[in-house]
């Protein structure tokens, strides 16, 4: 049986969010954030690009690393058949107690 006190000591400590515009090409993008404990944090990335032509490809964003003060991700990019182009990606870091 659970004790109610184990559910009243936690919660959200901080929320940070923003939008980044990655450089053209499949390169990492580093975002400076306020200091957090990465072991108690969750990251959400939103972005993508879909195109109907066969000569187009897309890369969805993915997390490369999360440290106390830096979120590094790769994406969102798409390839138009001749060059990569960076697309806006929104991010959110939620830290828990």
Q: What is the per-residue pLDDT for 34? A: 98
Reported as a single tens digit per residue, the pLDDT across 49-86 is 655 555 556 677 889 999 999 999 987 666 666 666 77
pTM over cut 0.85: no
pLDDT tens-digit profile of 65-74? 999 999 999 8
Q: Residue 15: what pLDDT? A: 97
Look up residue 27 and give its two tokens: 């390169």
Q: Which CATH architecture has domain 10-96?
A: Sandwich (2.60)
Please name which of 91, 75, 80, 33 lies closest in space to residue 56, comparing C-alpha atoms.
80
Q: How far apart are CA 65 and CA 76, in angstroms?
A: 16
> Is residue 38 a contact partner of residue 69, using CB atoms and an 8 Å limit?
no
- Write down the domain spans for the chain: 10-96
pLDDT score, position 44: 95
Give me the pLDDT at residue 62, please: 87
| Burial (CB count within 10 angstroms: exposed 0-12, middle 13-18, buried 19+), residue 62 | exposed
């Amino acid at each position: 049986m659970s004790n109610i006190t184990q559910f009243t000591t936690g919660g959200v400590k901080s929320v940070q969010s923003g939008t980044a515009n990655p450089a053209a090409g499949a390169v990492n993008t580093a975002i400076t954030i306020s200091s957090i404990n990465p072991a108690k944090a969750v990251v959400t990335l939103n972005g993508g690009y879909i195109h109907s032509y066969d000569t187009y490809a897309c890369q969805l964003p993915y997390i490369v690393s999360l440290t106390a003060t830096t979120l590094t991700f790769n994406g969102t990019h798409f390839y138009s058949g001749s060059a990569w182009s960076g697309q806006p990606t929104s991010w959110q870091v939620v830290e828990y107690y």
